[in-house]
Amino acid sequence: MRRWLIVFTSLLMVFVLAACGGGGGNGGGSGQADQLARGQEVYTAECAECHDQGVGPDVTSASAPFLTDFANAQELFSFTHDNMPMDAPGSLTDDQYYDVVAHMLQSAGVLPADTVVGPDTAAGITFGQ
């Protein structure tokens, strides 16, 4: 009886994870809309206090300085990861940094359609310079 319960519970977990997008990478959801929603949430919680108040540059417009300061989304991710939030650099997960970068790119009008920003795609998302 116990073995059956373990098997049943394991299968149930597999089905639940599959229904939720696998449970790994970029917070569980796999589409661009999911990533953008998470990115907006992270931005609001961790970035807006400075960037929307003029302490930091505007990073959510077509004139965002990252468009000319960096060649691609991987460079933007690396800078953001290493320097933000200003009071706790590197304190977010890599997925959270990729999510907020996706939000910034979308807000600036440079995120390609149906693209999820991550370690396999960020270098190919070019802009600026």
Query: Considering Cα of 18, then 34, then 45, then 110, what sign does the dihedral take?
Result: positive
**What residues have CB less than 8 Å from 45, skipping those under 6 apart?**
none
Which residues are 72's β-sheet partners? 126
pLDDT of residue 20: 38
Closest by CA position to 32, among listed 111, 120, 104, 122:
111
Across the chain, which has 129 residues, the per-10-residue mean pLDDT values are: 43 37 46 97 94 90 93 97 95 98 96 96 87
Question: Could you state, in order of their start, the residue ranges of all structural domains in the chain?
Answer: 24-124
Looking at residue 54, its pLDDT comes to 85
pLDDT at residue 16 in the model: 34
Tokens encoding 70: 């960096």
The full 3-state SS of 99-115, as one line of letters, equals HHHHHHHHHHCCCCCCC
Q: What is the pLDDT of residue 128?
A: 62
* CATH of region 24-124: 1.10.760.10
